[in-house]
Structure 1
């Protein structure tokens, strides 16, 4: 009986220790991981991030500005970063300015595609040059 109790206690302590060691949050990287907070992001950019082409088209028809920044980034930057090529094409077709730069890092949509390894978006953007 004592052996069983000691084994269970040891297993419990091992699980707790393992869980604490594997789930560390580095505050330095936290801002990079959560660089878009859904509550601060406008609905147009949320639709772009989801790749909802129909919703993006409808919002453009309702007068959404394809160059209006949200969290310091243009809609094209979100489309490029999340590799949403069809949405990106739609934005360009409706006048998206691809030369605009983000507020914080001064990156273009092409740079966001490059940094996030969004190869399809990057190929599309480089083909426009």
Structure 2
């Protein structure tokens, strides 16, 4: 009787242990068409733009940051357009940002990035600049 109880207890413990282990046969793949989160390689200038830190962007421009230098294949204007940072985009344009430049990978302009991200304020501003 003792052996039967011990055997049943061990079998029960084994079943519970293995039942709690789950294995995903087909893990979901969550990728996006445009990758924006490779912050290790992203320039500090573009990080400040993404965060909307206008004062930092002004300071970096004063220190000689190039408003057309690409980071991860995109210009600072593309990051401003993507993240709907109209004030920063105005500042970049005032300092010579070229809005006709295309990204390395997707071959999109700043306006196209604004369209893709549904940045309505930026789109309205870019449309008024084009006229």
Q: TM-score range by the shorter chain?
A: 0.7 to 0.9
Residue by residue over 1:77-120, the C-alpha shift from the partner in whole angstroms, topping out at 9 and shown as x without a partner, is 00000001111111111110111110111111000000100001
User: Normalization by structure 2: what TM-score?
Assistant: 0.77
Residue by residue over 1:42-73, the C-alpha shift from the partner in whole angstroms, topping out at 9 and shown as x without a partner, is 00000000000000000000000000000000
- Give the greater-gyration-radius structure (CA): 2
Aligned to 1:69: 70
Larger helix proportion of the pair? 1
Q: Give ranges in structure 1 of 5+ residues lacking alignment.
A: 1-7
- Residues 1:41 and 2:45 aligned together: no
Provide the aligned length of Structure 1 versus Structure 2.
122
Q: Distance in 2 between matches of 1:85 and 1:65?
A: 18
* Alignment root-mean-square deviation, CA: 2.6
- Residues 36, 71 of structure 1: 8 Å contact kept: no
Q: Give ranges in structure 2 of 5+ residues lacking alignment.
A: 1-15
- The SS at the match of 2:121 is helix
User: Normalization by structure 1: what TM-score?
Assistant: 0.78
Q: Give runs of aligned pairs for residues 89-104 of structure 1, distance below 5 A.
A: 89-104=90-105
Aligned to 1:24: 28
Q: Distance in 2 between matches of 1:80 and 1:94?
A: 16
- The SS at the match of 1:104 is coil
